[in-house]
Structure 1
Amino acid sequence: MSLRLGVLGAGMIASGAVGFLPNLKAIRDKVEVVAIADVVPGLASAVATTFGIPAAFTSLDAMLAGAAMDAVLNLTPIPAHGETCLRILAAGKHLATEKPLATTMDDADRICELAQERGLTVVCAPYNMLYPDRAEARRLVREGAIGKVAFARVRSSHGGPASGAWPADPSWFYQKGAGPLFDMGVYGIHEITGILGPAQRVVAFAGITEPTRTVRGGPFQGKTIDVTADDNVLMMLDFGASTFAVVDGTFNVNAGRGPKLEIFGREGTINLSGRPFGGEGPVLEIFQVDAPGWVTPELPDGDAVLALHRAVLVDHLADCVRTGAQPVLNLEHARHVLEIMLKADESASSGRAMELSTTFSLPDGCE
């Protein structure tokens, strides 16, 4: 029996070419989209007509009351994640949510507690640890292929939504409660902790590079945005035993040619190019001091995963609900990533390294 899914949020993440709805068609044997809701008048109805969704609503509460669903996909803006995730779980629905899990630790803790109390499955973006190159990097590190890890460099930024032809008003990305740390830094933090494991401390620098941004393209070209969120964040994570990682989370990387992620060990180096989201060169390369040159290992076939684009998150939820397996994209990992981001903000304000209290584990065999 397929998972009956309601979608909360009908914007570009739901309906764009690499978004959820166009790509959920590939797993219609697993997932049936039965409803969609959005607070923008007429938007849910229009998207429902385009994608053949039976029911459209103007609020989450109306959808929860009016549609028979097993799960909800939460595509609300970042500041609304915590409150809407809690309401979805309180209604007894499994949950797939865009990143980050929430914007406060109180909400994240309550989400974890409520999911456990109700016996509900939750998966949280980013999806990168489902990709074969990330899983292979984790396996190589765990098996000692590059020896003891000394440090990693992680690029987790782009130029910001105002730097290109964003199809909607990008102003909210630059306001307090959003910003590049929650929007982009979350990817790099998720990846490096997914590969190396939980961090123990974080120290960060953050600031606003320019007080205003001008939208460079799209329907809001020329609009001036007042920037109130830090748009330039650099973090260092301490994993213990002298293993560190530098992660950026900014709206200031308009182009980059280096690897997205580099892991330097005493016996070698692992490079990840960043594809399918940009980057050049092989998807994964490894250099070992006792072997000749760089090697590109053969990876498991990941075409089916990559072809789903964002819909891979819902595919993962459906598989975990059906089999009872612990998600790779699990709640505890998402909560740990959130704590790192919040403590990074606190570190930047206070000038102190901040201890982390959360931890997580990934299921055996996720490599």
Structure 2
Amino acid sequence: MLKLGVLGVGAIATVDYGVLPNLHHIKDKVELVALADPVQERVADAAKRFGAAQTYDSLEAMLDGADIDAVLNLTPIPAHGSTSLRILEAGKHLATEKPLATTMADADAIIEAARAGGLQVVCSPPNMLYPTRIEAARLIREGRIGKVAFAKIRASHGGPASMMNWPTDPTWFYQEGSGPLFDVGVYGITEALGLLGPAKRVSAFSGITEPTRVVRSGPYAGKEITVTTDDNTLIMLDFGGGTFAVVDGTFNVNAAKGPRLEVFGRAGTLNLPNNINQNGGRTIDLFLLDAVGGLSGWIDVDLAHLEPAQQRVDKLRRALLVDHLADLVAGTAEPVMGAEVARHALEIMLMAHESARTGRAIELESSF
């Protein structure tokens, strides 16, 4: 049984699709022991709702006072690096929201601390644990669509300020140290890496679409936000051998109808839908040049065997992050969302901004 402490009980911890409402599905693996958050009313309410015996007002207090094996880090993006490092240095396994950190120095320190302590690290997003993503990777790996030429992945949405009834102040999403590339672009990058392997080079355009955003609805409706970090980034990744991918990381996609992910190979095309949860996560569209009898066409991919795993994903939602960590600690799973992949994704994001600033393609140093 993994004894868990949770750092941060904001939206991602407490909304219906978040972690805490869905931990009960893995109560045979994980015991929620403690919550830590500087807002006392918020942490007390979360403890009452989700059955945590202990509450603390800081990470340090929880590390000192709670009998826990692991910490789930749900702090805002700029705090990930420093807090995750403290968790590992205290000898606790780590599950953290994306990105792993915001600097390569912090990412390297996290990996070294985990290695030195023999600790497991799991970093969101969990996309490559979704059954259709696993199946798509298998189809590509087995050559069903032939040599991959390029992929297009749309990871963006309209941004928290544009969403209906965003529950908290979204200002920090638009400030230095955060932004859509770290918040949503990381999903598309992670999917590209999961399907195509490590990238070798990155090139990008990036900028601020509008200097001011206005919160559309919710408790902060009407608030004006000064945008101080890029809110519109388009990335091209070079995987070597003539294989490329295009990934977006913006707060400018208010709606879209096309596939979320398209992979174009010399022998066919593979599409995955926009919605990666619920019914939209149950289909793969596959076009083959020689689908049957020398004829080309779209074919039905039988995914019935994936249904039990998909139902599990539907239940766990964001708690899938903790589920994977528990399995790694127990030795019953192979790492999918490890720190090495997260560090590679981070370098891509950082070098995307550097590429946009300098106008040149940049060779990547990390891998996995």
Class of the TM-score when normalised by the shorter of the 2 chains:
over 0.9
Give RMSD over aligned pairs: 1.3
- Taking the aligned partners of 1:245 and 1:16, their CA distance within structure 2 comes to 33
TM-score (norm 1): 0.96
Deviations 1:268-290 (A, max 9, x none): 00001032359969621111100
Change (3 A) 1:70 1:280: closer
Partner of 1:210: 210
Q: Could you tell me whether the CA contact under 8 Å between 2:277 and 2:314 is conserved in 1?
A: no
AA paired with 1:194? Answer: G
1:298 to 298, 302, 305: 302
Deviations 1:174-224 (A, max 9, x none): 001100000000000000111100000000000101000000010000010
AA paired with 1:166? Answer: W
- Taking the aligned partners of 1:296 and 1:272, their CA distance within structure 2 comes to 13
Partner of 1:117: 116
Gaps of 5+ in 2: none
Partner of 1:363: none
SS at match of 2:287: strand
Change (3 A) 1:281 1:10: closer
Deviations 1:54-108 (A, max 9, x none): 0000000000001000000000000000000000000000010000000000000
Partner of 2:50: 51
Change (3 A) 1:21 1:316: same
SS at match of 2:81: helix
Q: Could you tell me whether the CA contact under 8 Å between 2:188 and 2:248 is conserved in 1?
A: yes
- Taking the aligned partners of 1:41 and 1:281, their CA distance within structure 2 comes to 38
Deviation of 1:293 (Å): 2.0
SS at match of 1:68: coil
- Taking the aligned partners of 1:281 and 1:305, their CA distance within structure 2 comes to 10
Change (3 A) 1:328 1:311: same
- Taking the aligned partners of 2:82 and 2:221, their CA distance within structure 1 comes to 32
AA paired with 2:312? Answer: A
AA paired with 2:5? Answer: G
SS at match of 1:290: strand
1:57-136 equivalences in 2 (<5 Å): 57-136=56-135
- Taking the aligned partners of 2:331 and 2:282, their CA distance within structure 1 comes to 34
Paired residues, number:
359
TM-score (norm 2): 0.95
1:146-161 equivalences in 2 (<5 Å): 146-161=145-160
Partner of 2:16: 17
Change (3 A) 1:36 1:155: same
SS at match of 2:290: coil
Deviation of 1:226 (Å): 0.3
Partner of 1:262: 262
Percent identity for Structure 1 against Structure 2: 63
Q: Could you tell me whether the CA contact under 8 Å between 1:148 and 1:265 is conserved in 2?
A: yes
Gaps of 5+ in 1: 361-367
